[in-house]
Structure 1
Amino acid sequence: MKKILSIFLLLFLFNLNFSQELLATVQVNSQQIGGTNQSAYKALEKSLRDFINNTSWTGKKLQNFEKIKSNFAIVITEREGNRFRGNIVVQAVRPVFNTTYESPLINLQDTRFSFDYVENENLIFNERQFSGKNLIDVISFYIYIILGYDADSFQSMGGTQWFQKAQQIAQNGESQNTYEGWKLIKEPRGRSVLIKEIMSPNWSQVRATMYTYHRAGLDNLFNQDQAAAKKVIFDALMQLKMYENTFQQSYYFNLFLDNKSDEIFNIFNSGNNGGIALADLKNEMTILAPKYTEEKWSKWKQ
């Protein structure tokens, strides 16, 4: 019995520490600005891929299967010398226990993205100060956001140490006036706004929901009897009811529901909901994520 308990404990601890580095793909798309010389963009793509995947962000040495699968897609829309402007899409997924399914952790587009880059320059990250070029600052910020999201999904408030690093990068970014995306005012979907809300006690229930939804709910959803896991997910989502009057202003809250809307719909659209009050969840999702009502929530059948 002791041996069985020890094995269970090791597996549990493994899952709590799962995925604390990144296994990232990077794409740099320059089609909008044309030109035949693509060497700078290919060099940028390789440099970023090496920077993200070869930097030790957490101090842990992990096998590839333990790392967080992520993607950074950059679209360049303007170039003036070594100054580039465009947008970046940041995506990451989380494995679900005992399945091949990967749950979306984060999927966002940052349209306030500009940076300076010289072909083949070394990318070196210093979390204590702003780089002066914005490229590694934005990338590193989102890496720590991904690490925080992932850790929050395995342990309650487990991402705090990584979110604190993202917060420090954002504060460094706020101190300069050259690049957009770091200001707390007039940039409602900016980077500083996102990390401020993540770290705010006012939105701590969203972080608590991240943990319960994934660790107690999703990781048990593929058992033979799904009813218990669905009830956990249902209860976790219903806890968000407290934000009915404030969610419109929150980037973090709306990002969570945007990232999870398809998954939430599919979980409760497959039948066998174990007698949960689906009408209550439908009403709650209609209030909190009204833009998905027609294509998702209204299609749920009790």
Structure 2
Amino acid sequence: MKKIISLFFLIFLFNNYFSQELLATVQVNSQQLGGSNQQAYKALEKSLRDFINNTSWTGKKLQNFEKIKSNFAIVISERDGNRFKGTIVIQAVRPVYSSSYESPLINLQDNRFGFEYIENENLVFNERQFSGKNLIDVISFYIYLILGYDADSFQSTGGTQWFQKAQQIAQNGESQNTYEGWKQVNEPRNRSQLIREILNPNMSQLRSTIYSYHRAGLDNLFNQDQTLAKKAIFDALMKLKMYENSFQQNYFFDVFMSSKSDEIFNIFNSGNNGGIVIGDLKQLMLTLSPKNQAKWEQWK
């Protein structure tokens, strides 16, 4: 009977965990514009924070400790009335079992962020159509991206339903001709490209790697014996060798390596790597992430 109750409790926690939503911070930086009138930017900051944290993205209501920690940092570089241009950095982290460590899920910068905003306007998300102002469209796209990444890290391809939501938003964005960042043509590293690559069956191994890396690897890394956890991470990463001739033009792959390179380096930089052939992983990382060559070369 106790075993049945325990199993029920674990299933309850499992099902509720995957309904996570966001606990987000938002920063809006307007220093490039100069001037002392910051009221509109503070209003935008608050509106976005309330929009992200108070909207029900998954249909479940959760405690703060259950939500995904994330950050949206916006730098405004141009303003024309109620129209703005700038960049947005999106970051999210994932808790690691039996530790206080938080692993980076996603860390990317979008340089094509143009939008319209009227101070204190009500922000309402409608997934069926483009808003016309691009602000909630971009933010909502990245929220579902974060939800997808998080779910993928706990269950193999568990984020598909959220990635599909992001894809619908991207398709809505592609249907308009006012704002950058959605079109496949003449806009490399655009949002539509990213979500199409994530859902492309050819990238299923990378999604599988993300799951194994986190669940079999990181979630066991803080055990007294790290051997099996490091081996699981090593094995998951070595499966990315299949992309060594195609990763250069792949935005999804680039986001993974950019978000995880520091963590990967630190995991295997302790010198206590069991029976892992670190030279094999070093050579693969030099191929897949050459901009971090100086880092990988430190592995012994």
1:74 aligns with 2:74: yes
In structure 2, the residue matched to 1:238 is 238
Residues 206, 216 of structure 1: alpha-carbon distance in 2 compared, 3 angstrom cutoff? same
Deviation at 1:298, TM superposition (A): 0.7
Task: Render the CA deviation track for 1:37-94: whole Å, top value 9, x for unaligned.
Answer: 1111111000000000000000111110000000000000000000000000000000
Amino acid at match of 1:300: W
SS of 2:297's partner is: helix
SS at 2:72 equivalent = strand
Does the CA contact (< 8 Å) of 1:209 and 1:239 recur in 2?
Answer: yes
Q: Letter of the 2:226 partner, please give it.
A: Q
- Over 3 Å counting, the alpha-carbon distance change for 1:219 and 1:5 in structure 2 is farther
After superposition, give the CA deviation of every residue in 1:155-210 in whole Å (9 maximum; x if it has no partner): 00000000000000000000000000001122221100100100101111111111
Q: Which runs of 4+ in 1 moved over 2 A?
A: 2-19
Q: One-letter code of the match for 1:218?
A: L
Partners of 2:49 and 2:152 in 1: CA distance: 25
5 Å matches for 1:76-95? Answer: 76-95=76-95
Unaligned runs of 5+ in 2: none
Partner in structure 1 of residue 292 of structure 2: 292
Q: Distance in 2 between matches of 1:43 and 1:94?
A: 29
| TM-score, normalised via structure 1 length | 0.96
Q: 1: CA distance between counterparts of 2:113 and 2:264?
A: 31
Distance 1:40 1:274 in 2: 55
Distance 1:185 1:9, change over 3 A: farther
- Code of the aligned partner of 1:210: I
Q: 1:253-275, CA deviations, whole angstroms, 9 ceiling, x for partnerless residues?
A: 01101100010011111122111
- Residues 137-286 of structure 1: matches in 2 within 5 Å? 137-286=137-286
Distance between the aligned counterparts of 2:29 and 2:172, measured in 1?
Answer: 28
- Cα 1:266–1:97, aligned 2, differ >3 Å: closer, same or farther? same
Name the CA distance, whole Å, in 1 between partners of 2:12 and 2:263: 26
**Does the 8 A contact of 1:16 with 1:155 survive in 2?**
no
Deviation of residue 17 (structure 1)?
A: 4.5
- Which residue is equivalent to 1:18? 17
Corresponding pairs, count: 299
Assess if the C-alpha contact under 8 Å between 1:17 and 1:154 holds in 2. Answer: no
Report the alpha carbon displacement of residue 11 of structure 1 after superposing the two structures with TM. 3.6
Q: Does 1:113 align with 2:127?
A: no
SS in 2 for 1:293: helix
1:135–1:22 CA distance, 2 compared to 1 (3 A): same
1:6-36 deviation digits (Å, cap 9, x = unpaired): 5366346635653620000001111100122
- Return the alpha-carbon distance in structure 1 between the equivalents of residues 16 and 268 of structure 2: 29
Aligned to 2:47: 47
Query: What is the identity, as a one-letter code, of the residue corresponding to 2:150?
Result: D
Structure 2 CA distance, aligned partners of 1:185 and 1:201?
22
Q: Which amino acid is 2:296 matched to?
A: W
Summarize deviations over 1:211-265 as a string: whole Å, max 9, x none: 0000111000110110001000000000000001000010100110110001001
Q: Distance in 2 between the 1:83 and 1:159 partners?
A: 33
Q: Deviations over 1:86-137 (max 9, x none)?
A: 0000000000001000000001000000000000110010000000000000
CA contact (8 A) 1:16 1:154 kept: no
The alignment's TM-score, normalised by the length of structure 2, stands at 0.97
Sequence identity of aligned pairs in percent? Answer: 76
Task: Kindly state the Cα deviation for residue 276 of structure 1 after the two structures are TM-superposed.
Answer: 0.8
Q: 2:76 & 2:264 partners in 1: Cα distance?
A: 33
Q: Distance in 1 between matches of 2:125 and 2:15?
A: 27
CA distance in 2, matches of 1:84, 1:64: 32
Aligned partners of 1:106 and 1:190: how far apart in 2? 16
C-alpha separation in 2, matches of 1:281 and 1:238: 7
Amino acid at match of 1:166: A
SS at match of 1:87: strand
